[in-house]
């Protein structure tokens, strides 16, 4: 494992700073959830001032450090495209529904791409105050301590994370047989409601694998790098390397990847 280049180390440091400032605001707002007004973006997709404040703070910090960068953020700049220049892919609050209900599983997620390649990723678990970081070629860490994916190979011992396609009901018929197969053949399936944290859980070996049928770039940019830098594999459902565009995702410790892909396609 190499050390992060000075440029990547500065990227990670700046993303951590931005994520911490955003998390401080989110935690402050969490003290009085009853004061929050929820807006409905689409069915089962909510947003509040908390998401907007967090993204504004992240944007201010990142653009102060990197004035030429492009921002792609879920709430303020979702239509941005990922070019060759430095692009930050930001979910200011992943797990908004959890947050609004006081269910303590939500995160700030910031990925940085350069030349179409992920260089840095930060996922901050706000309720537990734990920071996951990764830099290209330099490994992944939890609060500064290196992390690795698990070494589980036996599906009957595996704990697998998932996300439901609740925002995309047309995917439910394809999803349910996958869920049934994984439930029957593993030690357990968990759905905690924040994809960035699901990917961090694969990276640190708490989950042996994770799949979800439809994620946005900001849900997974940072998490993809975390898993890869922790020794795992992230692909689309066909097994091709995954870039952070809207799509299905399979992440695993690598050892279980072929088995996961086969389960997801069995009978599909």
Number of residues that bind ligand IPD (CB under 6 A): 13
Residue pair 41/47 in contact by the 8 Å Cβ criterion: yes
* Phi, psi torsion values for 51, nearest 5 degrees: -60, -45
Binds ligand IPD by CB under 6 A, chosen from 95, 139, 205, 248: 95
Residue pair 124/211 in contact by the 8 Å Cβ criterion: no
Residue pair 148/229 in contact by the 8 Å Cβ criterion: no
Q: Does 91 bind Ca ion (CB under 5 A)?
A: yes
Binds ligand IPD by CB under 6 A, chosen from 121, 219, 223, 230: 219
Residue pair 77/71 in contact by the 8 Å Cβ criterion: yes
Binds ligand IPD by CB under 6 A, chosen from 59, 87, 96, 131: 96
Binds Ca ion by CB under 5 A, chosen from 198, 212, 219, 229: 219
Residue pair 20/38 in contact by the 8 Å Cβ criterion: no
* Integer Cα distance of 36 and 74 in angstroms: 19
CB nearer to ligand IPD: give 205 or 223: 223
Binds Ca ion by CB under 5 A, chosen from 8, 53, 55, 94: 94
Binds 131: which of ligand IPD, Ca ion, none (CB < 5-8 Å by kind): none
Residue 115 CB-density burial (10 A; 0-12 exposed, 13-18 middle, 19+ buried): exposed
CB nearer to Ca ion: give 15 or 158: 15
**Subset of 97-136 contacting ligand IPD (CB under 6 A):** 97
Residues that bind ligand IPD (CB under 6 A): 91, 94-97, 163, 167, 193-195, 212, 215, 219
């Amino acid at each position: 494992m190499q050390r992060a280049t000075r440029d990547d180390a500065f990227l990670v440091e700046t993303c951590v700073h931005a994520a911490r400032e955003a998390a401080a605001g989110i935690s402050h707002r969490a003290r009085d959830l009853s004061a929050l007004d929820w807006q409905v973006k689409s069915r089962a997709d909510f947003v509040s001032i908390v998401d907007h404040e967090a993204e504004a703070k992240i944007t201010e910090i990142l653009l102060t450090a990197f004035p030429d960068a492009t921002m792609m953020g879920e709430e303020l700049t979702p239509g941005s495209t990922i070019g060759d220049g430095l692009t930050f892919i930001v979910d200011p609050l992943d797990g908004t529904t959890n947050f609004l209900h006081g269910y303590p599983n939500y995160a700030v997620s910031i990925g940085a791409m350069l030349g179409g390649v992920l260089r840095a990723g930060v996922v901050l678990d706000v309720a537990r105050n734990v920071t996951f970081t990764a830099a290209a070629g330099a490994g992944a860490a939890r609060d500064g301590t290196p992390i690795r994916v698990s070494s589980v190979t036996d599906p009957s011992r595996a704990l697998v994370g998932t996300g439901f396609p609740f925002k995309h009901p047309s995917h439910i018929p394809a999803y349910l047989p996958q869920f049934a197969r994984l439930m029957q053949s593993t030690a357990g399936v968990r759905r905690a409601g924040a994809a960035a944290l699901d990917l961090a859980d694969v990276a640190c070996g708490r989950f042996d694998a994770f799949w979800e049928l439809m994620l946005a770039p900001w849900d997974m940019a940072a998490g993809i790098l975390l898993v890869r830098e922790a020794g795992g594999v992230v692909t689309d459902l066909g097994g091709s390397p995954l870039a952070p565009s809207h799509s299905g995702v399979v992440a695993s410790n690598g050892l279980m990847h072929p088995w996961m892909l086969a389960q997801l396609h069995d009978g599909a």
